[in-house]
Amino acid sequence: LREGDFIARIGGDEFVVFGSAVSEAYSDSRKAIQKRIEDFSKGTFHLGVADIDYEGASVGVVTSEPRMKEPEALLSLADEAMYRVKKARRREQLETDF
């Protein structure tokens, strides 16, 4: 993450990251943040007798709009975005299995 970003565990395997946008190209910024988090969380992890290939965290990224005052609304939107990523990954996996 960048200096000034904030990360916190909100429960289970769910985390939230807060940061400031550096430009008004919000779509590009969201994609860059998503890729950065996915990239640093993926890899092959050696656990004694087993190796696990992990494709990275499922990341939902949203941008706060001036009218959005409730943090719960942002978390809900980020959750929806994360589940879209999970669904797309499952779809890709099914396509490669056949």
Catalytic site residue from 13, 51, 53, 97: 13
Q: Which helix (H) or strand (E) holds 30?
A: helix 26-41
Dmax (CA) of the chain: 52
Task: Say whether 13 is catalytic.
Answer: yes
Smallest CA-to-CA distance from 55 within 17, 9, 25, 96 is with 96
Contact 61, 55 (CB under 8 A): no
Q: Which residues are catalytic?
A: 13
